[in-house]
Every structure is written in structure tokens, then in C-alpha cells.
Amino acid sequence: MSATATAAPTARVGIVGGGQLARMSHAAATGLGIEVHVLDAPGAPAAAAGARLVAGDAGRLDDLVRLASRVDVVTFDHEHADPAALRALVDRGVAVRPGPAIKRLAQDKLHARSVLGTELGMPVPAFARVDDAGDVAAFAAAHGWPVVLKAITGGYDGRGVRIAATPHEAEGALAALGRPALAEAHVAIDTELSVLVARAAGTGETRAYPVVETLQRDGICHETVLPARVEPDVAACARALGLALAEAIELEGLLAVELFVSGGGLLVNELALRPHNSGHVTLDGCVTSQFEQHLRAVLGWPLGATRAIAPAAAMVNVLGPADGSDPGTRVAQALAVQGAHVHLYGKAPRPGRKLGHVTALGHDADAALHAARAAAHTLEGRR
């Protein structure tokens, strides 16, 4: 090999979507010699950080084929790839992980409820398909008002969800969400949890991370605490549920299971078949980050250890300040908070936009949250 030759990558991974999840996956791939290609628009955060860009649209088969032609395996940073196009890729012999049938569990909420609740017997809120306000009223007669209404496809980070307390409100919600929609019983939530499980393609090796507690704001997972502040038996049940689900669907890649603790029991809320906001705490809080683990899993490589490296860890999202200022201008001040780790996503600032996150370790949850919040608030210009 000549002195100027470049070593070949150990593997090439294509990611549908080039947002912050792909950006952090690219960072994890670099040390493993993996070459990452992302399908997105020019200027996407992952491409700006050095991932190879395939300019295109996740809804176009031709663009997906161009991505697939450059890589060994195709995976995802979001849920919005066209299911028919993904099936066409598989028909062409492309390794798509997770495959279209599994991915649909994160793309179609009504389908997910039917598979999880009806076919697999997993604990889920009462649910039904609704086409009009009369259907919602009938559901409420059985399960009570208010009713949670969700868009069947396309919703994320609190978008695509409405709470209706009357038939009139249900009519307005359906007009906004589209018809049909998913109706769910409104449940009392004691705590929200998330469990991440990785399962390797080919080998079926499976690893679960410690269960994390999520603190929501406006439907967005805004903070996480590792380990979750729940009774050990609740955490053990959540972990077992995540592992059982990964096996039942023959997962290839990473699965995030969002859970409600309600009345002492567990209910499955939603799934993500990719790295997830609730797993960002693993970047600095666990032996192997969720991003490296997902890459290992979709490539069929041995999985990494998932144990925490400190008694507690916390993550706090950094949102765009109301004044439109850029948190990147305050990184030095945020790093003055001892133990804080800043992760910015290279996105243009906009009020309320998710621009990054902070993680911190501590001797307990309060200490870790205090440090992470202090640095995040500094980045947002709040102190």
C-alpha cells in the first residue's frame, strides 16, 4: 500500500435520514472504521459533521436505491421512509435493518397497537380506530372522557396527538389529525419509563440497557434519569418486557420501548426502531452508547456491554431560546459546570427547536440532574 493510500472501511452503513441521530451514529462509526452514508437534503446535520451525503428523499425509491448501492446495510434515523419503497428495496436483495414489517410497528400506531395488544398480549391502553366524532363518543362511553386521539402515521415529539373531552373537541381533533385516527383511553400516569434493547442481525444476540425514567414536556422527552427512580421489580418487569418484545418481533437493530407506569402496572406507549432521545444518556453514562450499539446490531457484530459507568446519569435537552439566539455561543460557559458533557447537533437555531443535549454523571439522580440542568440552562441563556 502506498503512503497516500486510504485504508478501506470495515463496513459501510446507509442511514435513511441525516439528522442528529445519524450525526451521533456517524461519530460512533468513526472509531470503528465504519463509513456512514446518509440520505437527506444538503446541509443535514450528519453530512455537516462528515458523513457522506446522498442527496434525496426517503419517500423516493430511486433515492433509496442510490443509497443502498453504496452500502452494506440500510438503517434509519427516523420513521418516515415510505413502507412500499422499503419493501421494494428488500425485494432487490438489499439488507434493510430493521426490515419493513418490523419498522411498521413504529410507523403505524394502529398497527402497532393491534400487534402488541391483540397478537402478542402486551399491556397497552384500551384503543380503537375512529373515523368520526360518533366513534369517539362510543369509545368514551366504554372507557370514559377524555380520550387521547393520535394520528395513525407521521406523529412524533408530541405532534399528532390531541386530547378530547367532548364530542365537539373530538371533531376538531379529527379534523386536525386526519381520519381515521387512533383513540386511546386516557390513563393516569405515575412515571414514564423507556427501555432500550439491541438485537444483532444474524446471531440474535440481545442486550438491554438499564431502564431509564423520562420526564416529558409538551409531549417531548425533555429529561432522562438513569437508572429510573422506580421499585426494582418495576424496572425488572420493564426490562423483561423489552427483551420479550425484541425476541417476538425478531428485532434487527435497536428498539426503544416507551412505557407508562400506571397504578403500579406497566403499559406500552410507543416504540422507536432506531436510536432514541431517551437513550442519549448512554453516550456518557454507559459502557457502549446506543449509537455504537445500533451500528453493531445492524451489522451483525458482537454487542457491547450496556452497564452504567456511574451510580446515576442524567440527560437534559437543549431547546432553541425564545430570543432565537444560538446555544453554540455559550458552550464555554456551559463547560464550566463540572461533569457536564455538551452535545450540539449543528442545527440552525429556532425557538423551541431541539438543538442538542447535555449529559452528566453523579453519585445520585439529583446530583446528575442538577449538573445537566445547569449546563443546559446556560446554553439556553437562562442563567
236/323 same-domain check: yes
Tell whether 139 and 276 lie within a shared domain.
no
Residue 217's domain is classified under what CATH number? 3.30.470.20
CA distance 174 to 291: 36
Per-residue pLDDT tens digits for 296-323: 999 999 999 999 999 999 999 999 999 9
- Report the 10 Å Cβ neighbour count for 202: 11
Does the pLDDT value for residue 157 go beyond 90? no
Write out the three cell numbers for 342: 455538551
* Same domain for 352 and 218: yes
Please write the tens of the pLDDT for every residue from 51-79: 999 999 999 999 999 999 999 999 999 99
| Enclosing H/E stretch for 367 | helix 365-379
| Residue 214 near residue 193 (C-beta atoms within 8 A) | yes
In this structure, the answer to whether residues 315 and 255 fall within a common structural domain is: yes
Task: Verify that 179 and 196 share a domain, yes or no.
Answer: no
| 98 grid coordinates | 430493521
3-class secondary structure, 43: coil
User: In whole angstroms, what is the distance from residue 36 CA to residue 17 CA?
Assistant: 11
163 inside domain = yes
Q: Give the full edge-to-edge strand order of the sheet including 161-164.
A: 127-130, 181-185, 147-151, 161-164
Q: Is 78 helix (H, G, I), strand (E, B) or coil?
A: coil
Query: Does residue 110 sit within a domain?
Result: no
Give the SS3 label for residue 56. Answer: coil
- Residue 116's pLDDT is what? 97
The mean pLDDT of the chain is 95
Amino acid at 132: D
| CA separation for the pair 286, 294 (Å, rounded) | 14
We report the CATH number of the domain holding residue 49 as 3.40.50.20
Q: How many domains does the chain have?
A: 3
Judge whether 254 and 273 are in contact, CB under 8 Å.
yes
Q: Are residues 172 and 271 in the same domain?
A: no
Contact 53, 47 (CB under 8 A): yes
Q: How many CB atoms lie within 10 A of CB 163?
A: 13
- Verify that 154 and 280 share a domain, yes or no: no
Q: Which of 117, 150, 185 is the last residue of a domain?
A: 185
Which range has the worst mean pLDDT, 13-17, 217-221, 354-358? 217-221
Q: Which domain holds residue 145?
A: 126-185
pLDDT of 154 reads: 82
Reading the block at residue 313, the C-alpha cell is: 446519569
- Are 34 and 15 spatial neighbours (Cβ–Cβ below 8 Å)? no
